[in-house]
Amino acid sequence: MKYNTRHILNKIFTVVTAASVALMIVILIAVLGPMIWRGSSAVFFKSTVEFRKMQLDLHRRGDKTEIDDEISQSEVYRDFIYHKIDAFKKGINTDYYTDRVKKIYRQFSKELQYNGIKGDELSRRRKFARGIRRDMEKAFRSLNKAEILQIIDNINKFKGDERIANTKAVEFFALADEYRKTIKNFDLSKRQQYAQALEEVESLVKQLLGPRSNEPLPAMIMDRYGATRLDLANELLGKIIWKRQWVQQSSGKPMIEEKICRSTQFAGTELEDLFPYIEENFDKITIPRFTFYWQYFIDDSTSGHYFGGVGPEILGTLILTVLAMVFVFPLGVISAAYLVECASENMVLRIIRMCINTLAGVPSIVFGLFGLAFFVLVFIPFFGGPSKPCILAASLTLAVLTLPVMIRASEEAIRSVPKTYKEASLGLGASQFRTFVKVTLPAALPGILTGVILSLSRVAGETAPILFTGACAFGSVPKSLFSQTRTLSYGSYDIAVGDKIGMLVPHNQYGMVVTLVLLIICLNAIAIFFRAKIFRRLKGH
Amino acid sequence: MKRIIVCGLIMLILVLATGAIAAEKQTLQIVGSTTVGPIADAFAETFNNKYPNLDITIKKTGSGDGAAALLDGRCDIAIMSRFMKDKEFKNAVSKGIFPVPHVVAMDGVCVVVHPSNPVKELTSDQVRDIYMGKITNWKQVGGADLKIVIISRDTSSGTYETFHKLLMKKKEMVKTVEYVNSNPQAHARVKTTKGAIGYIGIGFLDANVKALKLDGVMPSRETIASGTFPLARPLFMFTNGYPKLGSMTHKFCSFYLSEMGQEIVEAKGFVPVTNY
């Protein structure tokens, strides 16, 4: 009976432990699985022709003739879309005219200055031209045909005025005529109805296809290309074809979302058949192709991590981690050696040990502020370095952060070396120091490496200690110990809180986090490999 | 094997250390607000292409840290979404540092609600009453019968300070307010909560949240630039004294005046200071 109870209890214990391990694995998969799945989409995805164009422009990757060929293939369909929009736009959106009139005025004023006209004469003539510009802008804004025609007639009266004769400003009149022709057969009341809807469609099409080839290059790289990934492109396609709209059903109730087909919204206009056209020829416009973007791990990114990869971040994280290990390893081992081998067990030692344990529990942001106050503002300037955050300060801070872990692990490892080893060495006449270096340390090394593994993972993932001491959100690849660096941990934080771009590129955000996890796994694997190797050698194999 | 590793590490350190001596690159260190950060990022991207010898680093740790960094001499430019406080100014001057502000863009703090909310417009007083807990249901301001979930930025952010000063008139918010850490977070909370009200920078507006008219004024480029929108604020770059003409700091701080700079400011969703 007694035996049976014990047997059952044993069985229950086995089942419970197995269940908890299974639960842990399930949780691990539930947490890491979706993250890795989404993160891997930063590297494996279907790219559009825009992506290949960007790779060619920024990194000279890919075959130029092949990509040019693809671009010209898709250009055929794009031209049709642009043509449709332009035809519809002319009477609706007069920004185009406003921009042109502003440009003419600017050129006119430059021309006058170039011709050496100064002072009162210059301001007199400029004032006159400005008057015309203002009138024309008014005409472009107006919804009243009679008023527009009258303004244009008024402007035409100034034709041949000596103040603007033979200058760029005569183009005003050509523009005014062009505008008169445009609105001649156009129903101006449509303008209000469609202006906003058209703007929406235009901006969506621009996001999908990128700027037109005849447009001036946008200032930021992220605006120079359309949707580079098929998943983003599909999302945009949905937005182009279906318009989301919130409709009030009855007063006092929340509004309800409705989807409206855009071709019904633009029914009866030139744009009506544009939307089915885009949907039908979507593959020919985007030319999707499966891509393995391994350069994600070496590429630099554009501002806000919109395009590109995490190369500098990986490098920065590696440098910080390795340097922190270089600092902490000797410090930790020597302190542990003192605590085990030299110090005698007394009150002071107990206090020191307690301090180390407390240090291990201090929040990491405290170390960050300590690093700022000590390493950045005092320690490094004391040795003649610049009083600015840098890699050196950050890795020293990380070393201090992980020092307690290292000391505790080394202490345990050194203590667990069999006393007989040491006694044999001492008995052969070796000194204390020699015994420690040649006998105790090698035997304790696997245990110390366990400490290294624990610290590695902690150091690579920390954000708070390096926030004030050496990490930056934007910066080039570090050139020296005294420059700042980007890191994976701070980078993923930056995407999450900084820019609205972060909401547009979730794959990059997940990609960065997954890269960090992979990096830590790799570093750990290396350390475990070495530990196993040393262990085998100690066993005498 | 071990020797190779040790040699490798020593080499790495040597290379990095000598790099410090060999590097003759100009550096430009920028610290401060998360709101102005994206503008600085985009400027830096252009500058990196234009001046390959320039090394720009940007750190976004908040307006307060920007001011502190300028005082410590840890940075060349402090980016801030609010003006320096009296105390910071006095501290700076006593340290021999003279902060000079450059207004690079205008930003509007927009009151936003879930798109299903039928309310289109609120007055400043109504918003203040909501945040002070006097109005707790959308019914009271002409909406559906739904409890109001109040979202606010954390008290250390410049956006909070603008909202607190200009709209709340420095009155305390009710205890049930939910504080979030960043603009994207505030956006996400309002996007997913039906009865939510929150406030975000104009750059973060999109179709997933609905901006309300405040005192009858819709937040837009025009109303913010003209100052008719009540929650408009300038965004700053602070330097120690006016930067030496022609220096990189000067070029960076005056880049917003160029056409390209204005275009970037606008592309980032902010309002350029001039009508270029």
| CA nearest to A385 within chain B | B20
| CA nearest to B38 within chain A | A499
In eight-state DSSP terms, residue B163 is I
Record: contact B19-A388, CB cut-off 8 A: no
pLDDT tens by residue, A322-354? 999 999 999 999 999 988 888 777 888 889 889
Contacts of A497 in chain B (CB under 8 A): 34, 60, 181-185
pLDDT tens by residue, A360-414? 888 989 999 999 899 988 888 888 878 888 899 999 999 999 999 999 999 999 9
User: Is A110 a residue whose pLDDT tops 50?
Assistant: yes
- Please compute the mean of the pLDDT values over residues A431-455 and round it to a whole number: 88
In eight-state DSSP terms, residue A294 is G
Where is mean pLDDT largest: A9-23, A424-438, B26-40, B205-219? A9-23
Record: contact A472-B57, CB cut-off 8 A: yes
Q: Which two tokens stand for residue A527?
A: 């350390």
List, as ranges, residues 93-122 from B with C-beta within 8 Å of A.
115-118
In eight-state DSSP terms, residue B140 is G
For residue B205, the model assigns a pLDDT of: 86
- Min Cα distance A23 → chain B (Å) is 31
User: Is B22 a residue whose pLDDT tops 50?
Assistant: no
Superfamily of domain A311-540: MetI-like (1.10.3720.10)
Model pTM score:
0.81
Alpha carbon of A242 to those of A90, A213, A272, A368, B180: distances in Å?
24, 27, 13, 49, 33
Contacts of B146 in chain A (CB under 8 A): 254
- Min Cα distance A184 → chain B (Å) is 30
| CA nearest to B270 within chain A | A500
Cα–Cα dist A262/A277, whole Å:
12
Closest CB to B44 among A219, A246, A303: A303
pLDDT tens by residue, A481-492? 888 889 999 888
For residues A182 and A149, the answer to whether their CB atoms sit within 8 Å is: no
Q: Give percent of chain B above pLDDT 70.
A: 90
List, as ranges, residues 83-122 from A with C-beta within 8 Å of B.
none
User: Is B75 a residue whose pLDDT tops 50?
Assistant: yes
Q: Which contacts qualify for A423-427: CB closer than 8 Å, 24 or more apart?
A: none
- Please compute the mean of the pLDDT values over residues A249-256 and round it to a whole number: 76
DSSP for A477-507 reads: ---STTS-B--HHHHHHHHHHS-THHHH-HH
Closest CB to B41 among A246, A303, A480: A303
Where is mean pLDDT largest: A219-223, B109-113, B166-170? B109-113
Record: contact A500-B182, CB cut-off 8 A: no
Computed over every residue of chain B, the mean pLDDT equals: 85
Cα–Cα dist A508/A506, whole Å:
5
- Please compute the mean of the pLDDT values over residues A29-34 and round it to a whole number: 90
For residue B7, the model assigns a pLDDT of: 61
Record: contact B146-A484, CB cut-off 8 A: no
- Please compute the mean of the pLDDT values over residues B142-158 and round it to a whole number: 85
Computed over every residue of chain A, the mean pLDDT equals: 86
Where residue A514 falls among pLDDT bands split at 50, 70, 90?
very high
Contacts of B171 (CB under 8 A, 6+ apart): B128, B132
Where residue B21 falls among pLDDT bands split at 50, 70, 90?
very low
Closest CB to A468 among B13, B46, B61: B61
pLDDT tens by residue, A199-246? 888 888 888 888 888 888 888 888 888 888 888 889 888 888 888 888
- Min Cα distance B167 → chain A (Å) is 24
Q: Where are the domains of chain A?
A: 3-40, 47-79+192-299, 86-188, 311-540
Contacts of B139 in chain A (CB under 8 A): 252
Record: contact A483-B187, CB cut-off 8 A: no
Record: contact B72-A387, CB cut-off 8 A: yes
- Please compute the mean of the pLDDT values over residues A33-58 and round it to a whole number: 88
Alpha carbon of A505 to those of A495, A500, B115, B165: distances in Å?
9, 10, 23, 34
List, as ranges, residues 354-393 from A with C-beta within 8 Å of B.
376-377, 387-389, 391
For residue A504, the model assigns a pLDDT of: 81
Name the residue with tokens 């071709």: A263
Q: Give percent of chain B above pLDDT 90.
A: 14
Cα–Cα dist A179/A96, whole Å:
11
